[in-house]
Chain A
Amino acid sequence: MNALRAILRRGLPVALLLAVPATAGAHTVISGVGPYISGVLHPFTTPAHLLLLLGLGLLVGRQAPLKLKTPLAVFIPISALALALTTTGLVKTVYPPILIGLALLAGALVALGKPLPARAGGVVFALAALALGLDSAADNATGWGIAKTLLGTWTGLIIALADIAYYSSKFNQWQWQQVGLRVAGSWITAASLMILAFALRR
């Protein structure tokens, strides 16, 4: 709990400083589905979010045995806090290179295949949770619609992270599967590096 407090104390001001108005990740309600489902689908339909979640999921899943409890204990409350912060109007979206930079970091760690120290892992997951949450403001909803959309997004974020971690851990039994995970990590890193260069160029 103390570790969580320390992460919040150090990570939150940094994330708020880095958050700037932009239009990249904030979502609109998807037509044909309600606000909750629209929120659930948001992490899966935003490429930057999905790339980061893939990186984080693989980072957890490649470590045997699967230890979901610690990363989720950091990710769940901080993402909830960040989503709640979007309702204040102070933060609309996150500067896109932050999300991509975090995806690059997660992908590189997967590609390197080195075990991640618990504290460093906690910081990565805390920053990612903050960035993903702050970048998921419910733009086109009002009243209860905002609450439902944000609740859906929170569910979607947790489902995405937990599922990717769980299934990648199942795909981690044989050596060729472990190699496959590292190759996937290198793909995430490579794609992120290119996107980052493009974003910085703009």
Chain B
Amino acid sequence: MNPPSKFNRPAVLGLLWLALWLPPLTAGAHQEKGTVWGFTSGFIHPLTGLDHITAMVAVGLWGAFLGAPAMWVLPVVFPLVMAFGGALGVLGVPLPGVETGIALSSLILGICVAWGMRPPLWVAALIVGTFAIFHGHAHGAEMPKAANAMTYAIGFVIATGLLHLTGIAFGLLVRWPWGKKLVRLGGVAIALVGFGFLFHFISA
């Protein structure tokens, strides 16, 4: 494996500090809002669903696990493709199996982290990008409810990015042997959550 040696110690410590603070923020935000209003609602939206959270964190985790350049390519690819999916959702273009796709994203990405898969970068980007379309479509389809579409979009993109950073920060632990086990364990947990959601949708 290639440790992220080009990343300096303050950066790693800073991201770890971020990881310590972000989970309580996300945990406290798991409540449904009746109406979507601007930035706050956009920011909260990705944090209100465990399926979204686990997939976003998994993208960061996998990126960190793969090391540079995947560490930054995946979190760059995800929002770009997610926005494309979001545009489809906003424009009312139907996409079958959105919820199943989101559940699958947690399952597959969790397995990738747990297994420590190291495909070529383009394959990893393709996997992440494919799932990003489902997440984006789900966000986009709900976006017209927002009072201010602009601040809603900015809010939810920032929240998504911060979830990626949380995953990256946690994933940087792979430079230590115990951290590698912990990260893989995180992948197992994410895959289990994804499996739970998938089972729920299939059985419903």
Residues on A facing B (Cβ under 8 Å):
47-48, 51, 111, 174-177, 179, 182-183, 185-187, 189-201
On whether the beta carbons of A194 and B11 are closer than 8 Å, the reply is no
On whether the beta carbons of B72 and A183 are closer than 8 Å, the reply is yes
On whether the beta carbons of A193 and B76 are closer than 8 Å, the reply is no
- Number of chain B residues close to chain A: CB under 8 A: 35
Interface residues of B in 143-196 (CB under 8 A from A): 143-144, 148-151, 153-154, 157-158, 161, 164
B76's partner among A51, A176, A186 (CB-CB below 8 A) is A186
For residue A51, which residues in chain B have a CB less than 8 angstroms away from its CB? 150, 154
Q: Which of B82, B154, B158, B164 has the most CB of A within 10 A?
A: B154
Interface residues of B in 39-95 (CB under 8 A from A): 68, 71-72, 75-77, 79-80, 82-84, 86-88, 90-92
On whether the beta carbons of A190 and B7 are closer than 8 Å, the reply is no
For residue B82, which residues in chain A have a CB less than 8 angstroms away from its CB? 190
On whether the beta carbons of B83 and A194 are closer than 8 Å, the reply is yes
Q: List 9 A-B contacts (CB under 8 A).
A: A47-B154, A174-B11, A175-B6, A176-B8, A177-B11, A183-B76, A186-B76, A194-B139, A194-B153
Q: Is the interface of B mostly helix, strand, loop or mixed?
A: helix
Q: Give the number of residue pairs across the A-B interface with Cβ within 8 Å.
A: 91
For residue B148, which residues in chain A have a CB less than 8 angstroms away from its CB? 47
For residue B72, which residues in chain A have a CB less than 8 angstroms away from its CB? 179, 182-183
A154 to chain B, nearest CB (A): 23
Closest A residue to B146 by beta carbon equals A198
On whether the beta carbons of A194 and B90 are closer than 8 Å, the reply is yes
On whether the beta carbons of A187 and B157 are closer than 8 Å, the reply is yes
B90's partner among A47, A182, A187, A201 (CB-CB below 8 A) is A201
On whether the beta carbons of A183 and B153 are closer than 8 Å, the reply is no
On whether the beta carbons of A186 and B86 are closer than 8 Å, the reply is no
On whether the beta carbons of A191 and B149 are closer than 8 Å, the reply is no
Distance in angstroms between the alpha carbons of A47 and B92 in the assembled complex: 25
Given contacts A183-B164, A190-B82, A198-B90, 14 further A-B contacts (CB under 8 A): A175-B6, A179-B72, A182-B72, A185-B76, A187-B79, A187-B157, A190-B80, A190-B157, A191-B150, A193-B80, A193-B84, A194-B90, A194-B153, A198-B143
B140 CB-CB contact with A under 8 Å: yes
Closest A residue to B158 by beta carbon equals A187
B66 to chain A, nearest CB (A): 14
For residue B80, which residues in chain A have a CB less than 8 angstroms away from its CB? 111, 186, 189-190, 193
Closest A residue to B140 by beta carbon equals A194
For residue A194, which residues in chain B have a CB less than 8 angstroms away from its CB? 83, 86-87, 90, 139-140, 143, 149, 153, 157
